Chains A and B, each alone.
Chain A
């Protein structure tokens, strides 16, 4: 009984593998590049491209059909000798800056990139200003520090401490 089950499992695997390879022209299936180095380069590039239908995934990790199509388009262009910049421009022209997981630094994204630094600068400025005001206030506000003792008062304090006088 066990061996029969095992054979059925093996058969299922073999048939499954055959079916998976059946349609080699299917654009929704991955066709890795023959050159492993170039394929690795393509995969690295794909990690920075956003899948437009599953928005927080890169197309490298997405199972969506459109992601597979974009992957194959990228491989096709890489095999044709296009540079990464050219392929990136190709994608941005069609899908906009949004397709890049790392948005570019330009006028319309200035606030996005510089925003956190501007906020920190405002906060620091606020703290510094507060501190300056506080120290300036301490020096100028004589009412809070006790007045200096006169000569006779100091002598009286000495006598009190020595027990020669009573308060």
Chain B
């Protein structure tokens, strides 16, 4: 018993050493936050369309298949950077990518889409940012992956990049689609 007690400082040292080692790991992002939405059903969607005669982006659009939701805005530069990757994502993995224009004037969104092309199966306008709030959005761009039952499985609170699509998002989409 007493010998165990003398081992205690060493045990504590090892514990703190392990914590420090983990804390300094190069692939750890200390400002990354857990998303409250992972494993939860997607918040209800009911957003006006971009085109005057288009259909609303509603919860029914998400039912029955794996989907990607991408929040973007015309005023957001990183969104422009990831835009080409969204085309590839939809095509390579056969998933509908739904776009939500976050706190953007509809006219600006329309111009942005006209210039850049639309990788989106449908676009909903979230001018007030209310839907973004329901998603726990921290900024744009943000990308969410939903499974067939509309449960949020993945969230990326930063721009997409090819490596991440290849190593993280692609395999996840494939496993969810099975």
Contact = CB atoms under 8 A, between A and B. Distances in A.
Interface in B109-146: 128-129, 132-139
Given A70-B133, A94-B135, A27 B128 contact: yes
Interface in B65-87: none
A55 B133 contact: no
A111 interface: no
Interface of A: 27-28, 52-53, 55, 65-66, 69-70, 73, 92-96, 98, 122, 126, 129
B5 interface: yes
Contact of A27 (B5, B31, B34, B103): B103
B134 A96 contact: no
Given A27-B128, A55-B31, A66-B137, A94 B8 contact: no
Interface of B: 5, 8, 31, 33-37, 103, 128-129, 132-139
A86 B129 CA distance: 20
Contact of B36 (A28, A66, A95): A95
A160 B134 CA distance: 97
A65 B35 CA distance: 19
Given A53-B138, A55-B31, 8 more contacts: A27-B103, A27-B129, A52-B33, A66-B139, A69-B132, A94-B36, A96-B34, A126-B5
Given A28-B103, A66-B137, A126-B5, A96 B129 contact: no
